[in-house]
Structure 1
């Protein structure tokens, strides 16, 4: 196959590109605008492959997308390009509306026009895989509020997004499904839980805590730190996404989660414990934890029911939270130069979204 991956220089996108080039015989066309969170250094390990091509293109630029489709003639699209940081969406929602909604619309139309011109065999085999988030579902009951069995997000959970980011992703999901229903365009949607792992831009919780801890800076916990997330190791997610684009059924939605519900405070404390063992100092890194004002509209709990992925596509996460988090901390310790380069002197791990 020849797969067009949008956002392939980002965190999850680069993991997908590395997985495809490293574990299959497929070709990848990486379409990325290279915003602050996209970095080609994340792809150095596969950049010289004859099966890999990079196109610096904004998904809102229809003319450039048409050129890319005509030139490379992909068999499938994996659409990961998105603005994804909740705090950033609170501070400046316009970029999220533009990229996540207008960009998805523009890509859908470019892909649909290309698809209509394919011969019958290639047309029948074509797939448009839209990669989304569990945040579109809003939040779930928290153990503090519910003493019965706690529900999970399923593929039929109603949408109730809370932030500008999740609302923009919800809109993009609706567009993708509408293109299937109205035009018969062959789409598949996946919604994932919180990803973590190597090459994660340091605005997100886990890399921010690792780097702040090593520099002796405060480790900020929003509110009481009792917000619960389901954590998914990014390389497990990449495997799942490839399963979906190659084996998933048109029109289906698949929820992808790591089966690892953890409170944010527990995540930070676990990072501190790992650092205490790997890079010991006079006092525990946990003494750097501070509590700060909570994020506006902060969802309290996310948790994915990934049983459909397991039953229909035989996918299961390989990493536990403990093994994945230790690998992640070790990667950041070994790749400080990458961390410095991606921050590029313009991002100083300051608080956004206040």
Structure 2
């Protein structure tokens, strides 16, 4: 069996889907590991590193592969290079990439999307959304500290006392909790809010103060929050305004894959923040939690610098790649079961993890929202 590690081609993507230290684990599963030249360059991994680990660096890695692993979806040109029946594992925002989904279907490629891996206990080790959110949460706290022109921690000196910065974090999922923890480690006073019932205790467990609003919670499926009505959103913004106004740094992290990020903070709320304040919007790629944010740029709203995150995990490609590669390895292990002491690439489409992550297989779009968008409700 041949597994190919693709070289990322999308602008700004520095991660790689497999790292040298895991090549031996893939070899133990029965794979010959092929790597496209330069695949690890963005993550500071050389072709020689892969060769030393037992992989083969090869220009035609994709053409001969049974299984291709990548971070971003392969482009149409790369899909045409794959043999019919090949399998791909990558992030694949299917409903936003319908043309590519159609290409994968027509090429007879089986495509699994990492963001569609079900959020169940058995699949936790394959949860790439969580691993990359961990990186993003750390990164956004560091960005906030770097942009803010004052100390995060309390400092007591002979020349006087420097008060700690006040940080507000909106959203307490994996990224939000990591932003809280990192801000606390840097010494800031941290307050945080999330609409889910369990969030307040999770926030306190990180050493932060939970912001409690007199509003019903919005727990949804898969650990995500339910979408809120506009009336509820407006009231929430009103109640959050004084906390935002007092913050030296505001970090927003609320996002759900495949949906536009909710607007948690209006421009008018940001305008109430003090001189030198900072806003870091981790959800800018999906529309943003902050009105007026621009992904990949720092804009000024009132007195505040507003940083819009763009592909934030790729800003820390070393740890992000290592975490993602482990997620990929765990999924590949599931796709390569052992029978009579021999492993083979034989995905079990009755397995809820494989079925849930599958977008295309044998010329059929299996991801229902994408199929309906491409073919209509009456076509099979």
Fold-level similarity (TM above 0.5) = no
* Structure 2 length-normalised TM: 0.35
Higher helix share: 1
* Structure 1 length-normalised TM: 0.37
